[in-house]
Amino acid sequence: MTRLTGARVLVAGAGAIGSVLSLILAREGARVILADPTPVGDNASGVAAGMLAPAFEAVLDPTTHGRFELLAAARDAWTPLAEAAGLTLDRSGALWVDNERQDDIERGLAAAGARAERLSAAAAGAFAGLAVPVGAVFTPEDWRIEPLEALDRLRAAFVEAGGEVARAGLVEWRPGVAGLSDGRSAQADFVVVAAGFGAQGLAPELGVLEPIKGQIVRLAGQGPRRGATARTRDGYVAPGAAGVAAGATMQAGANDRRPDPEVTARFEALARRLHPGLNGGSVQAQAGVRAATPDGMPLVGFGRTPGLLLATGARRNGWLLAPLVARMAAAYLAGDEPGPHAAAFAPGRFDP
């Protein structure tokens, strides 16, 4: 990608995709501005458990059902990126711990091509002190990353590589000039829209995006920092550096960040049921708004607006897809072949 050397690129949106893409472009020699009006992590990528979960996403989510191969390739793309950026990937795997549907889950994982095995209650309970009285279905395919730590380190690595951070949003693009919300103009050869829902006015293709509100709960400072994620029909409970996280809702059409007290109580109860050793501590409820396309796959590539590239709309899989989407976006900018998923992610695929 040496053709990126010296290219002026403004990336709008400092979530998982925008942060990864900005780092890749800066290391390829581009002159990059990463523009976002919010503090680090004050976005949908910060309100997340950092799931890199191709197996359970391919089995449990209708929009990504049957896409295990694609999602696993995205997960694997994290390995070299994490090594280069000094990030830690938790490869402890994930468990389905409900008695209901265990046979279906085991068959579904096998049919998807994911490794899986049935565990006894004693073996399942050995994972990070989980209370699993009925046994579980375990897959090592699903990993996790610490969202806030990753965003911090990606930002630091980006700045170290010569990138510039602008605390402003993209409000206008004319070929060669990007207008920012702080009144400044930035000279750019390309603009990449990696922002989530709310950026619709920047390109006609973004009109297909729908908001999806996702709420999680963190039990601050409680529970294991690492270990297997527990999945149930009522949600998940994942270890975390800031405390275990339980979630998550997927409220289609909702575009607000107000936590629902009933949801908070339900997720807290789930966390304490699976980790009975949790005692006291504050409960932090968070809600974020994700952007989703009609088919659940992101928009990646140039649209009808000259010089404007899209890399957004990853629904709840922004962390999982970030390196794959970023590499595709960088290839488009360099004039290279974007890879085998270009048609599936093409921004114009919903055009009448």
What's the confidence (pLDDT) of residue 2?
62
- The Cα 289–Cα 287 span in angstroms is 7
Q: Could you tell me if 178 and 185 are in contact, meaning their C-beta atoms sit under 8 angstroms apart?
A: yes
Nearest-CA neighbor of 309 among 288, 289, 333?
333
Task: Report the CATH fold assignment for 2-46+148-208+295-350.
Answer: FAD/NAD(P)-binding domain (3.50.50)
| 199: confidence class by pLDDT, cuts 50, 70, 90 | confident
Mean pLDDT across the stretch 302-308? 96
* pLDDT, mean over the chain: 95
Mean pLDDT across the stretch 270-287? 90
DSSP secondary structure letters along 296-344? SPPEEEE-SSTTEEEEE-BTT-HHHHHHHHHHHHHHHHHT----TTHHH
Q: Could you tell me if 251 and 217 are in contact, meaning their C-beta atoms sit under 8 angstroms apart?
A: no
Q: What is the pTM of this model?
A: 0.96
Question: 210-292 architecture in CATH?
Answer: 2-Layer Sandwich (3.30)
Above 80 in pLDDT, residue 128? no
- The Cα 211–Cα 256 span in angstroms is 9
| Domain residue limits, the chain | 2-46+148-208+295-350, 210-292
